[in-house]
Amino acid sequence: MTDDAASLRDWHQSHSAWLQGYLRRHLHVQAAEAEDIVQDTWLRILRLSLTDIASPRAFLSRVALNIFRDRRRHEAVSTRHRYLV
């Protein structure tokens, strides 16, 4: 196993539950949406080198927040499009 794969596994074990709780508390999302965002977060960082990241929770929360915002923007565009058609 490469160092990056080991780091990702360790991060996943150490921070997944925390990140789900963070999303539920701070963004007030339902459990299922929090799980989806956490899964998308891991997929987004899968190819990154994690060894240089000094603050994993700050990094993960920023990636998850960006995914949350992307989802909300997409929902808004979809809603506007539905009403225009």
Kindly tell me if the per-residue pLDDT of 12 is higher than 90: yes
Residue with tokens 């060894």: 51
Q: What is the pLDDT of residues 15-46, one digit of tens each?
A: 999 999 999 999 999 999 999 999 999 999 99
Kindly tell me if the per-residue pLDDT of 13 is higher than 70: yes
pTM of the model: 0.85
- Show Cβ contacts of residue 79 under 8 Å, excluding neighbours closer than 6 positions: none
Question: How much is the pLDDT for 85?
Answer: 64
CB 60 within 8 A of CB 21: no
Residue with tokens 């915002």: 69
Question: How much is the pLDDT for 42?
Answer: 96
Question: How much is the pLDDT for 83?
Answer: 75
